[in-house]
Amino acid sequence: MSSYGRLVRSEAGKGLILISPTFLYALLLLAAPLVAIVLLSFWTQQFLTIQRDFTLANYTEALTDPLYRELMLRSLRISGLVTLVTVTLAFPVAYFISFHVRPERKSLWLFLITIPFWTSYLIRVFLWRVILAYDGPVNSGLTLVPVITIIALVLALVAVAALVFWVLGQVSMRAALAACGVAVLAGLAWLVLPTDSALRAPVIDEPLGWLLYNANSVVITLAHAFAPFAILPIFVTLEKIDRSLLEASRDLGESHAMTFLRVTLPLAMPGVLAAVLIVFIPTVGDYVTPRLVGGSGGTMIATMIYAQIFDLNDRPMGATLAVLAMLLVAMVLLWGMSRARAWLWLADRVGGGAKGAGVAIAVAMAEILVIRAAFVHGPALMGPAAASIVLVLVATGLSVAILLRLPKGRWGI
C-alpha cells in the first residue's frame, strides 16, 4: 500500500478529509479577501484606475494625518467603554442565572435573553434613535412627568417583577410583599402630595441634548446589542464551576464576598475574557450604529473606511485604514492580556490583598500615563509616523516578553 493510501485510511487522514471542505470554504471567503485587502493597501488609485506600483504612501498618510489618528483612538475609546459597560452588566445576569435559578428554568432564562435577536439589528438601532431623540420618550418623560410619578411607576414595575419572581420561585413571599408595600406607599404619596411640592415638578426643565448623535448614544446602543454575546460565555463558564469548591471555602471560614473574589471570579475569568473579545473586536469596526446614532462626535474608523471606498473613490486608502484597524485591535488585545497577567502577578508577589491591588493599580496607571504622554508628545519629537511605529513596536515587544516569561496565574490569565 502506498504512503498516500495509508494516510487516507489513517485517523489523521480521515480527519483531514472531514475538515477539508470547511477549511477550503474558510480559506476562500476569509483568507483570500484579507490578502486582497492587504495587497490593495500598498497600491494607489487615480480616479477609476488602480496603480499597482508598490508604495507606502497610504500608510504614511494614515499615520501622519491627525484625523485618522483621532478616529482610531476614538474607536478604541468607544469600544473599550462598550466592553466595560457590557461585561460589567452581563456578569450579574449570568451569575444570577447560574447560581440562583433552578436548573429546570435556566433554559427559559436563556431563551428570554435571546429575545432581542428576534428583530433586525438595524431595527434595534432605529428604535434607540427614537428613544434617545430630543423629543423621544426619555426626554419627554423627564420634562413632562413629575418626579413622584416616575418614582411610583418604577416601584410599581419592581413590585410586578418581584411578583413574577415569586411565582417562578426565585424570591420569597416576604420579599414580594415588601416590594408591593413600598409601591403602594409611593402611590399614596403620589395622591396626597400638594401640587406645589418639589416632587410634583418634572425631573428636568429642558430636554437633554447629549443623549443622541454623540459617543454616548453609540455606547448605549452597542452595549444593548452585544449584551447577549457577553452573558452567554460568562454563564457557560460559571456553570462549569464545581460547587463543592464554594462549599469548601465557606467551611474554611471565608465570607460570601471573599469566596466570590477568591474562588468564583478567578474561575470565571475565561468566560469574562471570551466576553471581552466577543464584544471588543466587532464594536471597533461597527459601521451601522455610529452612522445612524453617532453624529459627528460618534464617528468611528469604519465610517471613514466606508467614505474612502464609496464616497471618495479611494479604495487603497480604505484598505490601508482597514489593515491598520486590524493591527491596532490585535496590538491592544495583546497589550491588555499581557498587562493583566503582569499586574496580577505583581499583586501576588507583594502579598495580595489590598496592598497588592494598590501596587498593581499604581503600576497600571503609571504605564497608561506613559502611553498617553507618548501619544501626545511623541509626534512632536520624532514625527507622527515614526512615533506611532516606535510605540507599537515597543508595546508589542514588551507584551510578547511578558506572555513568554510570566506563567499563567490563579486567575487563568
In the chain the domains, ranked by start, together with CATH numbers, are: 3-41 (no CATH), 63-145+202-405 (1.10.3720.10)
Please check the confidence at residue 28 and state whether its pLDDT lies above 90: no
Question: Helix, strand or coil for residue 51?
Answer: strand
- Is the CB of residue 121 less than 8 Å from the CB of residue 225? yes
Number of CB atoms found within 10 A of residue 64's CB: 16
**Distance between CA 113 and CA 93 in Å, rounded?**
10
Please check the confidence at residue 346 and state whether its pLDDT lies above 90: no
What is the percent of the chain with per-residue pLDDT over 70, rounded to a whole number? 96
pLDDT of residue 403: 87
pLDDT of residue 4: 60
Range picked from 170-179, 222-231, 391-400 for highest mean pLDDT: 222-231
Please check the confidence at residue 410 and state whether its pLDDT lies above 70: no
**CB-neighbour burial class of residue 188 (10 A; exposed 0-12, middle 13-18, buried 19+):** exposed
Is residue 340 very low, low, confident or very high in pLDDT (cuts 50, 70, 90)? Answer: confident
Is residue 256 very low, low, confident or very high in pLDDT (cuts 50, 70, 90)? Answer: confident
**CB-neighbour burial class of residue 152 (10 A; exposed 0-12, middle 13-18, buried 19+):** buried
pLDDT of residue 172: 83
pLDDT of residue 215: 92
What is the percent of the chain with per-residue pLDDT over 90, rounded to a whole number? 36
Q: Each residue of 106-143: pLDDT tens digit? A: 888 888 888 888 888 889 999 999 999 988 888 888 88
Question: Helix, strand or coil for residue 206?
Answer: coil
Is residue 358 very low, low, confident or very high in pLDDT (cuts 50, 70, 90)? Answer: confident
The least confident of 194-198, 299-303, 325-329, 390-394 is 194-198
pLDDT of residue 236: 94
Q: Each residue of 200-218: pLDDT tens digit? A: 888 888 888 888 899 999 9
pLDDT of residue 10: 73
The DSSP result for 199-222, as a single string, is: GGSBS-SS--TTSSSSHHHHHHHH
pLDDT (average), residues 394-413:
82
Whole-number mean pLDDT of the chain?
A: 87
pLDDT of residue 279: 95
pLDDT (average), residues 15-37:
82
The least confident of 3-12, 73-82, 203-212, 362-371 is 3-12
pLDDT of residue 239: 94
pLDDT of residue 289: 94
pLDDT of residue 232: 94
pLDDT (average), residues 13-38:
81
**Distance between CA 242 and CA 400 in Å, rounded?**
33
Between 216 and 8, the more confident residue is 216
pLDDT of residue 5: 64
pLDDT (average), residues 178-198:
86
Give the cell for residue 65.
494625518
The least confident of 190-199, 218-227, 329-338, 348-357 is 348-357
pLDDT of residue 412: 66
pLDDT of residue 233: 95
What is the sign of the dihedral through the CA atoms of 87, 88, 93 and 95? positive
**Distance between CA 413 and CA 410 in Å, rounded?**
8
Whole-structure pTM value: 0.86
